Structure 1
Amino acid sequence: MTTRRTFTKLLAAIPVAGLLSTGALAQDMRDITFVQPSPSAINSFPVFVAIGEGFFADEGLNVTVEAINGSGAVIQALSAGQAQFGRPGPGPILAARSRGVEVVHIYNVAARSNFGIAVQEGSDIQDIEGLRGKVIGTGTADGAEVGFARNVMSGAGLTAGTDYEFLTVGDGGPATAAFLNNEIDAYSASTADTAILNQRGMAVRDITPAEFGRFFGNGIATMADTIANDRELVEAWSRAFAKGHAFALDDANREAVLKHLADGNPQEGEDKEFQSALFDAVRSKTISTSPENGLGWYPAEVWAEWQDALVTGGEIAAPLDDLSAAWTNEFAAIGNAAASE
């Protein structure tokens, strides 16, 4: 594996090149780039497992991973041709399509909501209504966590800018500092963000109503032009990714999986106990809500709910002309077939 470090926008990139398998010659390999909205290897664990196990190499793909700041930046990189695949959230996908950016979700990674609104353990705030007049921190200004929080708040009849405020504070240490300095009353966090806050000594608890668990989170995306003009690439990616996902779900492979994740992000691998616990938390969110359809499957009805929430929250002016064009299950089916062989 080769590793180099570059910088993009606000966050350092963490490129990881795929290993060559015995079945793939170097001259046959195609270089592609995958962009993720944070540096965490655990949040994108199927990618790093597929790299480490040689599943991408078996498909003739040499994958470089780069971390940039939030779903908006991921979509921008895809639309600019700087990457072939990325892992943005559904809210940013729909917002981008409302602006004419033809980005498409092809695999539902976070099949169960991997976001929640958290408050400090000792806070008097017990529910969403308790956030009226309060400030909610977010990691990025336009990431998936923002759309999720708007959705939850609008469900309680609360409107951003009127009943509460968002404040972009970053994640990890900056989020901890924002709590300590009383800049924020709550934080819209991913499963990984919450675990990191707790590990840093900032004990938090999730006050998100249980019914929002159906709102899936970040998934694999590519551009419609890539699907139309380079379908073999999308199919190859989907086969390798699904194999990595299935491999990581098998506890018999746990030791190998955690090693691949540490290779992808050495900092996450320094504390083995924390790495293991975080992986369990993130992995649990990727289990399909409809097992009969396999991994990576999108429920059409929840896409409609996501769209309704974005319209209500003012993030998009009106429903899309064709919501179904924003996502597809065909490549998840291809991936599942390959993973089951």
Structure 2
Amino acid sequence: MRGMSETLVLTHGCSLSNLPLFVAVGEGLFADQGLRVEAPYFDDITSTAELLVTGVADLGTAGFTQPLIDSERTDPPVLVAGSGLMGVFVLTRELLPNASALAGAPVGTFRTDPMEVLLHDVLAASGLSMSDVEIRYFDVLNHAIEEFEAGELAALTLAEPYAGRVRAAGAHVLSDGTDVWGNPFPDTTLVASSRFLRERPDQVRAAIRAMLRAYDVILADLPAALRHARDYFPGYSLDELVDAVRRQPSRIDIRDLTATVYGRWDTLRSLDLVSQDAEMPLHAVNLDLLNAELAAVPAAKEIAR
């Protein structure tokens, strides 16, 4: 187990729904809470899950479905707070009336990511299963985008800011997720390994506190906050990132969205991402520390007055 003086490697995804983590690192907000952290650059969608599975990381941001998918592991990740909302899309090259028009067509997505879960639900809403289209799985975002732009894919799931750029180049939005999951819904969440949460709750709560303070920074001055994300999105202008965050806003308090998280369980079974006979893992979400931290915030502000 890592001690307080050791560096925590933070997992994170590749979309702007990870912005609070990037800001918390860049502004030194984790350090302010006594946490030494490192957030490496990733362009591989599977990196987050692999770091959690291998035990390299005990803390970080991950897709909101990851704690459900990994719930049967010995030391599964637990969802402890939010990070970012929505901002995931099913994009098409041609303007289509509905998803049924994709029958038999090649469609790109990313295995185990919420984007795959969204694709399943969008297809299901039009009476299609995943087997009714030609699924092509990718690990690296740029490879998927290149194939889409080359005309090799009829549709592709993407998150911000990548979706915004592809859309600006002429792609059409078949779904922004709100049609099947409601508005809003979580995309990326803060997770901690079950063991780390059990043995180091103070550190997990400190991370939640840092994320909440990062959220305040984002609300106060979004362009300034985004300078901490620029290195994670090379080649994207500040204007592009600002525009993307408006479609994928940050939010740490997602206590009202747990039903949306658990509501994806049947889809995960349909995708064979969890055992068919597994019961819904209610332990995959634990917002006790978030509750405690949010309850302490008004008291702290009152004392400061």
Identify the TM-score tier after normalising by the shorter chain: 0.7 to 0.9
State yes or no: 1:258 paired with 2:226: yes
From the superposition, tell whether residues 117 and 198 of structure 1 become closer, same or farther in structure 2 (CA, over 3 Å): closer
Does 2:31 align with 1:60? no
Q: 2:243 aligns with which of 273, 277, 280?
A: 277
- 1:175 CA drift (Å): 3.2
Cα deviation, residue 99, structure 1: 5.0
Residue 236 (structure 1) aligned to one of 201, 206, 210: 206
**Residue 315 (str. 1) matches residue 273 (str. 2):** yes
Letter in 2 for 1:195: G
State the partner residue of 1:134.
105
Cα distance in 1, alignment partners of residues 43 and 145 from structure 2? 18
Normalization by structure 2: what TM-score? 0.84
Counterpart AA for 1:179: F
Q: Is the 8 A contact 1:242 1:338 kept in 2?
A: no
Higher relative contact order (CA 8 A, sep 6+): 2
User: In percent, how many aligned pairs have the same letter?
Assistant: 17
1:64 CA drift (Å)? 0.6
Q: TM-score, normalised by structure 1?
A: 0.76
- Residues in 1 aligned to 2:140 and 2:53: alpha-carbon distance in whole angstroms: 26
Aligned to 2:234: 267
**Which residue is 2:171 aligned to?**
204
The number of aligned residues is: 294
Report the alpha carbon displacement of residue 100 of structure 1 after superposing the two structures with TM: 4.9
Gaps of 5+ in 2: none
- 1:213 deviates by 4.0
- In 2, the alpha carbon distance for the partners of 1:213 and 1:320 equals 23
The yes-or-no answer on 1:37 pairing with 2:4 is no
Displacement of 1:173: 4.4
Distance change (3 Å), C-alpha of 1:186 and 1:49? same
Provide the rounded CA distance (Å) in 2 between the counterparts of 1:339 and 1:271.
35
Go from structure 1 to structure 2 and tell me whether the alpha carbon gap of 1:165 and 1:331 turns closer, same or farther (over 3 Å shift): farther
AA in 2 matched with 1:155 = A
* Structure 1 residue 220 displacement after superposition: 1.2
How far off its partner does 1:60 sit?
Answer: 0.9
The 3-state SS of whatever aligns with 2:254 is: coil
Q: Find the aligned partners of 1:145 and 1:194 in 2 and give their Cα distance.
A: 12
Q: What is the aligned partner in structure 2 of residue 303 from structure 1?
A: 261
What CA distance in whole angstroms lies between the structure 2 residues aligned with 1:157 and 1:101?
37
Q: How does 1:184-203 map to 2 (within 5 A)?
A: 184-199=153-168, 201=169, 203=170
1:91 CA displacement: 3.0
Q: Distance in 2 between matches of 1:247 and 1:180?
A: 36
Contact 2:75–2:195, Cα closer than 8 Å, also in 1: no
Matched residue type, 1:220 = L
Closer, same or farther in 2 for the Cα pair 1:193/1:299, shift >3 Å?
same
Structure 1 portions without partners, runs of 5+: 1-27, 288-293
Deviation at 1:244, TM superposition (A): 0.5
The ranges of structure 1 where at least 4 consecutive aligned residues each deviate by more than 6 angstroms after the TM superposition are none
